[in-house]
A and B are shown apart, each in its own frame.
Chain A
Amino acid sequence: MRANLAVQHSGERNGVVRFENVGVRYGSGPEILRDISFELEGGSFHFLTGPSGAGKTSLLKLMYLAQRPTRGLVRLFGRDVTVLKRPELPPLRRRIGVVFQDFRLINHLTALENVALPLRIAGAKKEQIEAHVTELLSWVGLSGQVNAKPPTLSDGEKQRVAIARAVIGRPSLLLADEPTGNIDLDQGLRILRLFEELNKIGTTVVIATHDRSLVSTFRRPELRLQGGDLTLHRPAPTGVDRLRRVDPLPGA
């Protein structure tokens, strides 16, 4: 179970994300993640599932460089994150788009300004930013809320602003933490299709969710976290009982 599992049956050596025997614990508590090993190939699309408290957010944090592993090796875009020098972090982070579980919007900035933030930080020109951001906001159905500030938005609207901010920079790696948690199924499907579009043009996507209906609608491989262990589950060719099928692990 804890052996290396090469996601997407590929022989490629350095995927976009590679974990080797990664463990995470908070303080002196138990290990939330134990001996996690996997590799995500560029252009792949995965769900990350597991019950609440299983460690989905913790795993994503390792991938978006908000946290270092307690032990083990984490590689992003072929770089060992534990030996990265400080000036090397921002360029790496700019290749990663994150939809945070709690949105993390800046309340005194408008939806437009919030979405524009990654571009602004990366030093893009104002004129380029505005048209681009307005277009994306209307795509996520917020053309009427361009100048609204987060406190006046509903949770679903905030979530869509957060999603727009995550994808505005066309990231190589998109990590979404429960991105459909606060929106209805129709909108959820629409958002997922946006992620699929990005995936088609090469973005590696990981979506943490506990929403089974999403997982069954979008027949994508599933990384399942339970009791600190990670297992890979592939959708069956037919839709009937695909979720119960577990791929045999290489070396397991």
Chain B
Amino acid sequence: MFHRSELQLNRDTARRFIPLMVAAMVYLATLALAGAVVVGATVDRWSEGLRGTLTVQLPGGRGDASVAETAARTDTAVSLLLETAGIATAQPVPASDLESLLEPWLGKGNLPADLPVPVLIDVTLDPGARIDLVALQRNLAGVVPGARVSDNGVYLERLVRLARSVQLVAGVVMLLVALAAVAIIVFATRAGLSMHRETIELLHLIGARDAYIARQFVTNALWHGLLGGIIGVVLAAATVAALGVIAGEVALPVAGLRLPEQLSISLVLWLAGGLLIPVVAGLVAMGTARLTVMRTLRQVL
């Protein structure tokens, strides 16, 4: 005996939708969070690969006769680059690599001999070095007309900016979803208070404190938050895992975005999140319910 609560909130059929709503919210928030994490990891890898690199492009020669000339111009450019302060390495991209890059468009072995394939030179900088790109461009064009320097940093910067925007949007989504979840709990708690108004008045009249009444809502909300959190996280994990499988099979044509690898890297993160998110959902629901009850009851005698 004495284990039954006076309000029996868990028997209210209208309240059964709460864990489902919380689950939906947690699902969306978790997906947004996972998206932010994946984008973050991808950007980190891009940054590592691209930071401190330049690409120099030389105009390609036409026909067999130009092979020797092209090689000479490449050597000139490479030696100029290596003499420049702050440059660590300068490595021409092998012609076979360039051909394989063009393969998707032209087909294997269909490369016309007289196609003016440009020469690309991968340049890496000394760690922390800053290069005057305008001066380098001018010097290079002086020895090899038509040479162009492209700074991968600019490209990277744009990508990073894009990634940060995506993460910001994910953050906003999580915030909105959390607010919506809080609103649901507030609404459901108020509905419960009004539905059980008579019992609550009785409890007050026989000497119950607001906290005594709040406790029943808080226990109920904690349970709903935990349950909804667990369901939401499990569904989100399943969704991301399914995305990973699909991405693995289809091999996303987006440079650097290899989903399954990043997911396994963040396995620890998933485990931590899987435990943490339901707990956070439960605590938020609890706090919201308590605050709502205490504030609402302050208005009754």
Query: Are B207 and A122 in contact (CB-based, < 8 A)?
Result: yes
Chain A residues numbered 17-47 whose CB sits less than 8 Å from any CB in chain B: none
* Residues in A whose Cβ lies below 8 Å from that of B207: 90-91, 93-94, 118, 121-122, 169
Tell which of A66, A90, A98, A112 touches B301, judged by Cβ atoms closer than 8 Å. Answer: A66
Q: Does B17 contact A (CB under 8 A)?
A: no
Q: Does A65 contact B (CB under 8 A)?
A: yes
Q: Does A67 contact B (CB under 8 A)?
A: yes
Query: Are B4 and A108 in contact (CB-based, < 8 A)?
Result: yes
Query: Are B208 and A121 in contact (CB-based, < 8 A)?
Result: yes
- Interface residues as binary, A68-107 with B (CB distance below 8 Å gives 1, 0 otherwise): 1000000000000000001101110110001000001010
* Residues in A whose Cβ lies below 8 Å from that of B298: 86
Given A65-B301, A66-B301, A106-B202, A90–B208 Cβ distance below 8 Å? Answer: yes
Q: Does A165 contact B (CB under 8 A)?
A: yes
Query: Are B301 and A113 in contact (CB-based, < 8 A)?
Result: no
* Residues in B whose Cβ lies below 8 Å from that of A113: 1-2, 4
Interface of A is mostly: helix
Query: Are B2 and A108 in contact (CB-based, < 8 A)?
Result: no
Query: Are A117 and B206 in contact (CB-based, < 8 A)?
Result: yes
Q: Does B212 contact A (CB under 8 A)?
A: yes
Query: Are A109 and B205 in contact (CB-based, < 8 A)?
Result: no
* Residues in B whose Cβ lies below 8 Å from that of A90: 204, 207-209
Q: B7: nearest residue on chain A (CB-CB)?
A: A106
* Residues in A whose Cβ lies below 8 Å from that of B2: 113, 116, 120, 126, 129
* Residues in A whose Cβ lies below 8 Å from that of B205: 64-66, 93, 98
The CA of A106 and the CA of B199, in the complex, are separated in Å by 7
* Residues in B whose Cβ lies below 8 Å from that of A106: 6, 199, 202
The CA of A18 and the CA of B151, in the complex, are separated in Å by 89
The CA of A39 and the CA of B289, in the complex, are separated in Å by 42
Contacts A/B (CB < 8 Å), 29 sampled: A65-B205, A65-B301, A66-B205, A66-B301, A68-B301, A86-B210, A87-B209, A89-B204, A90-B209, A94-B206, A98-B206, A106-B6, A106-B199, A106-B202, A108-B8, A108-B11, A109-B6, A113-B1, A113-B2, A113-B4, A117-B203, A118-B206, A118-B207, A120-B2, A121-B203, A121-B207, A121-B208, A121-B212, A165-B206
Known: A98-B205, A121-B207, A126-B2. 11 other contacts (CB 8 A): A64-B205, A66-B201, A66-B205, A67-B301, A86-B210, A87-B209, A90-B208, A91-B207, A106-B6, A109-B6, A126-B1
Using a CB–CB distance below 8 Å, which chain B residues touch chain A? 1-2, 4, 6, 8, 11, 198-199, 201-210, 212, 298, 301
